[in-house]
Amino acid sequence: MDNAEIAAQLEAFAALLELNGASHYTARAYRRAAELIRDTRAPVAELVEQGRARELRGIGPGIEARLRELVDTGELQELRELRETLMPELVGLGHLLGVGPKRMRELAEALGVRTTDEFRAAVLEGRLRSVPGIGPKTEAKLRAGLERAGKPKPRRGLLLNRAWALAGGVADALGGEVAGDPRRWKDSCEDFSVVVAADEPEPMIEAFEALTQIVSIVERDERRAIGVTVEGVPVELLVSAASSFGTALVRATGSTEYVRALEPLPEAADEAGVYDALGLPWCPPELRERPHRDEPSPFLLRLDDVRGDLHVHTTWSDGKASVLEMGEAAIALGYEYVAICDHTTNVRVVPGLDADAVRRQGEEIAEANERLAPFRVLRGIECDILPDGSLDLPDDVLAELDWVQLSLHAGQRQAGPELTRKVTEAMRHPAVRCLSHPTGRLINHRPPNALDLERAIEVALEEGVAVEVNGLPDRLDLRDEHVRLAVEAGVQICVNTDAHSVRGLGNMRLAVATARRGAAQLGDVLNTKPLEQVLALRKR
């Protein structure tokens, strides 16, 4: 089995464990193992056969045993048993209809059905009326859900990293291309599509139905099928003739508003042919959110433009790797520098550094620089803003540092004027170089704070402070529209990962994509510049 196949099996197992009432932490451990294996370059099956699986960070004895079973037999017996007993096909449909797993199984047993087609037929035939506890309102709700026209949506959007893992896994298995929200790098994804070129669609649709990720097929016609994952996420498969593959991909990628403005789309084998026939310049997928207006810049930020990461954590606070390990990982990515920005003590929920610890960490950073030269590890800090707007370290310590990221963790629910006063006052401190995750949002969990972002951007321009696009999947803060505000104002952007592990450095692609959605160009992004220009960022 290759790494993608192993990861898919572990993710399916995690989902069914959750359905069966297993601990959230157990399921999360399998999901994390799946992500790790998918990102591992070495063939994991070979590591398992050599007894070296536990060399992978996060793989314990329990998961190692599962990996051994997968490599030896090609399947997990418990996964097969769970599929037989939990009715995942119906559970997936239930998620779309707003019915919980336990209740969906109860309905299936009462109706004597085991497949989505059987359940659909039973509901549309009126047989729900015979089920105890089902009244007219519930019946009407389920019937409406089954009859709903258009493409179904998940009940909650997926974070971008999970969205790419799901859609990318399907696309890789079928030799297709990811489309929909993930291809536009939307911060929370609801529209999942995969486009495949094939003259004979039937074998491709059958392969789609057989994928580990897909537990239920809710729609199907000659060249299209919609499958549902066990978590209730619908994924659309579009099988296009090779001669019109580009047309199908453009249509499946752009937002409804964007595509509507281009219609009728000409038939073309690739996307470039579509834009040529329309007389329009090529438009990157990230910019296909709004109708095509301005010609996209040839200098739009690219991942390989980034020279360093200016916000990463280590074991000095809540990170998982040492200063040296983070530096070595940054070198492996081709970077020229990295800024170690661990937390200060005011953050409270995780370990933080006081003045003494910052200076002791500086000694470790100096040792790392001796070993890694000419690469440079910057002495930095993610410094909390205190309630009165001052900073969480003495001025003399801050003055020693190469890079100071300003952060607000406590007080996210404060009223806008007070929050804005506190943040902008802190931004005027002469040591501050960048404002971290300015709106404080956590996607699907916490809305943006009431910071007057336009005022914060004005102060950033006045003071020569950069603003961050934070690459953590549940932050992506600044988001796309705010990046536009900053860029148009002339404020420098930093695309950072806020990495708490070596693997976390991979989230740079999310930060870059978010900046691209905000039309950030090469010259707008500070950490595309040589180190001497980064360190030259000073108050005006």
What is the pLDDT, as a whole number, of residue 251?
97
Domain that holds residue 385: 303-535
Instruction: Indicate if 352 and 395 belong to the same structural domain.
Output: yes
At 293, the pLDDT band (50, 70, 90 cuts) reads: low
Answer whether residue 159 shows pLDDT above 90.
yes
Is the residue at 364 inside a domain? yes
What is the pLDDT, as a whole number, of residue 100?
79
Answer whether residue 538 shows pLDDT above 70.
no
Lowest mean pLDDT of 136-150, 380-394, 408-422, name the range.
136-150
Instruction: Indicate if 400 and 482 belong to the same structural domain.
Output: yes
> Average pLDDT for residues 429-439, to the nearest whole number?
96
Closest CA relative to residue 32, chosen from 60, 65, 68: 60
Domain count across the chain: 4
Answer whether residue 460 shows pLDDT above 50.
yes
Closest CA relative to residue 104, chosen from 121, 124, 90, 89: 90
Instruction: Give 347-357 pLDDT, tens digit per residue.
Output: 888 899 999 99
Final residue in a domain of this structure, among 252, 287, 322:
287
Answer whether residue 297 shows pLDDT above 90.
no
Q: Cα separation of 264 and 269, whole Å?
A: 16
In the chain the first and final C-alpha atoms are separated, in Å, by 58
Answer whether residue 215 shows pLDDT above 90.
no
Degrees to nearest 5, angle at CA 441 with 438 and 445? 170
Answer whether residue 206 shows pLDDT above 80.
yes
Answer whether residue 121 shows pLDDT above 70.
yes
Instruction: Indicate if 356 and 448 belong to the same structural domain.
Output: yes
Q: Cα separation of 512 and 195, whole Å?
A: 24
108 near 114, Cβ under 8 Å?
yes
Final residue in a domain of this structure, among 84, 102, 124:
84
Whichever domain contains 138, its CATH number is 1.10.150
> Average pLDDT for residues 426-430, to the nearest whole number?
95
Instruction: Indicate if 363 and 444 belong to the same structural domain.
Output: yes
Instruction: Indicate if 236 and 311 belong to the same structural domain.
Output: no
Lowest mean pLDDT of 235-239, 242-246, 299-303, 411-415, name the range.
411-415
Q: What are phi and psi of 123, to 5 degrees?
A: -65, -45
At 407, the pLDDT band (50, 70, 90 cuts) reads: very high
Is the residue at 118 inside a domain? yes
What is the pLDDT, as a whole number, of residue 232?
78
Instruction: Give 515-526 pLDDT, tens digit per residue.
Output: 999 999 999 999
What contacts 420, CB < 8 A, 6 or more positions away?
450, 451, 452, 455, 456
Instruction: Indicate if 197 and 312 belong to the same structural domain.
Output: no
Q: Cα separation of 360 and 316, whole Å?
A: 10
> Average pLDDT for residues 437-462, to the nearest whole number?
94
Answer whether residue 20 shows pLDDT above 70.
yes
Share of the chain above pLDDT 70, in %: 98
129 near 140, Cβ under 8 Å?
no
Answer whether residue 510 shows pLDDT above 90.
yes
CA distances from residue 472 to 167, 202, 404, 494 in whole angstroms, order as listed: 19, 39, 19, 14
Sheet with 308-312: list strands edge to edge: 308-312, 337-340, 376-384, 403-407, 434-435, 466-470, 493-496
Instruction: Indicate if 366 and 485 belong to the same structural domain.
Output: yes
Is the residue at 293 inside a domain? no
- What token pair was written down for 151? 């493409």
What is the pLDDT, as a whole number, of residue 540?
44
What contacts 306, CB < 8 A, 6 or more positions away?
335, 495, 508, 512, 525, 527, 528
Is the residue at 297 inside a domain? no
Instruction: Indicate if 520 and 446 belong to the same structural domain.
Output: yes
Instruction: Indicate if 248 and 355 belong to the same structural domain.
Output: no
What kind and span of H or E run contains 501? none
469 near 514, Cβ under 8 Å?
yes
Q: What is the DSSP string of 365-432?
A: HHHHHHHHTTSEEEEEEEEEBPTTS-BSS-HHHHHH-SEEEEE--S-TTS-HHHHHHHHHHHHTSTT-
Answer whether residue 207 shows pLDDT above 90.
yes
What are the strands, taking DSSP E only, across 202-336? 216-221, 224-228, 234-240, 308-312
Instruction: Give 526-536 pLDDT, tens digit per residue.
Output: 999 999 999 98
Answer whether residue 344 shows pLDDT above 60.
yes
**3 state DSSP class of 495:** strand
Answer whether residue 127 shows pLDDT above 50.
yes
Answer whether residue 323 shows pLDDT above 80.
yes
* Average pLDDT value over all residues in the chain: 92
> Average pLDDT for residues 291-316, to the nearest whole number?
90
For the ranges 108-122, 201-215, 500-514, the one whose mean pLDDT is highest? 500-514
Whichever domain contains 279, its CATH number is 3.30.460.10
Instruction: Indicate if 261 and 213 belong to the same structural domain.
Output: yes
| Higher-pLDDT residue of 303, 503 | 303
Closest CA relative to residue 440, chosen from 498, 487, 374, 360: 498
Instruction: Indicate if 269 and 366 belong to the same structural domain.
Output: no
> Average pLDDT for residues 272-301, to the nearest whole number?
89
